[in-house]
């Protein structure tokens, strides 16, 4: 399982998702500061994106990163909008709407700042098919 975070301001929510998944028993890694403004940083992690069973993507501002990640992988993507941003961000409403309107297949969205919910859902996906 992989948690991808757009900017360092999004780290608290990404770390909540990461910690939740780990506490529940998933092996999870974090890739931080790979937002669309520096897309080359994300591209350096192509193998990790392809090898993850599920990817949690945390982003504020315009919320474009989950669509990009969804286009780069055939794995489930759980998008988490954050309330971090400025301008017409509306405390997370702008990225929430962008994520809900993603044209990338396989993108599911949780509520603003819901790292716990994303980590929990990702763990369920990650653990599916394992014997109990």
CATH architecture of 7-127: 3-Layer(aba) Sandwich (3.40)
**DSSP string across 2-49:** EEEESSGGGHHHHHHHHHHHHHHT---EEE-S--GGGHHHHHTTHHHH
Task: Please state, for a pLDDT cut of 90, what percent of the chain lies above it.
Answer: 89
For residue 87, the model assigns a pLDDT of 77
The answer to whether the CB of 49 falls within 8 A of the CB of 73 is: yes
Is the model's pLDDT at 125 over the cut of 80?
yes
Give the pairing of strands 77-81 and 55-59.
Answer: parallel
Domain ranges of the chain: 7-127
Mean pLDDT of 76-92: 91
The answer to whether the CB of 68 falls within 8 A of the CB of 40 is: no
Q: Which band of pLDDT confidence, cut at 50, 70 and 90, is reported for residue 4?
A: very high
pTM: 0.96
126 backbone dihedrals φ, ψ, rounded to 5°: -60, -35
pLDDT in tens, 53-62: 999 999 999 9
pLDDT in tens, 97-108: 999 999 999 999
Is the model's pLDDT at 42 over the cut of 70?
yes
pLDDT in tens, 25-39: 999 999 999 999 999
Is the model's pLDDT at 86 over the cut of 90?
no
């Amino acid at each position: 399982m992989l948690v991808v975070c757009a900017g360092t301001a999004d780290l608290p929510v990404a770390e909540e998702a990461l910690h939740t998944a780990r506490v529940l028993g998933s092996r999870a890694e974090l890739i931080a500061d790979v937002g669309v403004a520096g897309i080359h940083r994300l591209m350096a992690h192509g193998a990790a994106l392809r090898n993850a069973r599920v990817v949690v993507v945390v982003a504020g501002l315009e919320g474009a990163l989950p669509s990009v990640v969804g286009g780069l992988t055939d794995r489930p993507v759980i998008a988490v909008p954050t309330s971090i941003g400025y301008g017409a961000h509306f405390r997370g409403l702008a990225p929430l709407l962008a994520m809900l309107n993603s044209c990338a297949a396989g993108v599911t969205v949780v509520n603003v700042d819901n790292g716990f919910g994303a980590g929990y859902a990702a763990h369920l996906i990650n653990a599916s098919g394992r014997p109990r």
